[in-house]
Amino acid sequence: MENTFSTQFPNQQPEFFLAAQGHAIGPFQAQEVALRLEKKESLWSDYIYRAKEGKWMRIFEHPVFQGLLPKSPAAPPVGSSQPQPPEEERRSWFMMKDDQQTGPYTATEVKRVLSIGDTIGVLLWKAGMMEWLPPEQAFLESPSDLPRREKRLALRRPVTAKIFLTNQEDVISGVCRDLSVGGMQILADRLPGVVGTVIQLNVDPSHEMSLKGFVAEGVIVRHLEDLRGFSFRFTKISDHDREQIEQFIERTKL
């Protein structure tokens, strides 16, 4: 498939939801999502949801839209004497800064740009990486990291839920990205505080019949890489709600 936004999608059903400013908007047709990407109304790093997958994921991770990403140069035919470019010279890296995505670049080009420019807020990604990462982490990614990450992710489950939270100063809305017995990741219209801030939240899984709403208190343990959300660890949650989360995760094992 060519790297063009003029691609026609066979399915015209409005079935995609986007996370925008802490709210789920939609539904959109695939063509409408592609148009939003073209107009930069949505970014490749934004989150998208479709009932078929049953989880929130980055647009660049979604199989329907991966065909719009620029492709790496084709490998030479078997038996060709043309040498493969070294890893450093393959155009496989994408860069995100100030909500603008550029690329693909070679690793050499990325390092040259970073050496002469402001690296604050820069995120990098290439095929095979599980998320956008800052440069100092992106270049340390290796296959040996994947089993550890998959083990952690296996304890979490996607859930569609609205989140209302307070840091004792104001009320912020958000969308749950995934859930575990120890905490959750939340996409929000703004961050409710720095790492270590204590917040209270009310979870409303209105579209998830197998999980009832609950309240909890906890602490922010990490800001997500694009500052559009955060990881939250429970410090106060009832035994009943912890048990129902455990049962939900068990029922929805992949």
* pLDDT tens figures, 221-245: 888 766 678 888 888 999 899 888 8
Percent of the chain residues past pLDDT 90, beyond the cut: 9
The answer to whether residue 9 sits within a structural domain is no
| CB 186, CB 199: distance < 8 Å | no
* Same structural domain, 106 and 165: no
Q: Is the pLDDT higher at 151 or at 249?
A: 249
Element (H, E) at 178: strand 171-179
* Same structural domain, 103 and 61: no
Dist. CA 231–CA 195, nearest whole Å: 9
Residue 4 confidence (pLDDT) above 90: no
Q: What range defines the domain where residue 41 resides?
A: 16-68
The residues pairing with 97 across neighbouring beta strands, listed in sequence order, are 100
Domain boundary among 106, 131, 148: 148
Q: What is the pLDDT of residues 145-173, one digit of tens each?
A: 333 333 333 346 667 777 888 877 777 88
Count of alpha carbons within 13 angstroms of residue 151, beta-carbon side: 5
Residue 217 pLDDT = 92
pLDDT band at 215 (very low <50, low <70, confident <90, very high): very high
| CB 41, CB 24: distance < 8 Å | no
* Same structural domain, 206 and 187: yes
The answer to whether residue 76 sits within a structural domain is no
Give me the number of domains the chain comprises.
Answer: 3
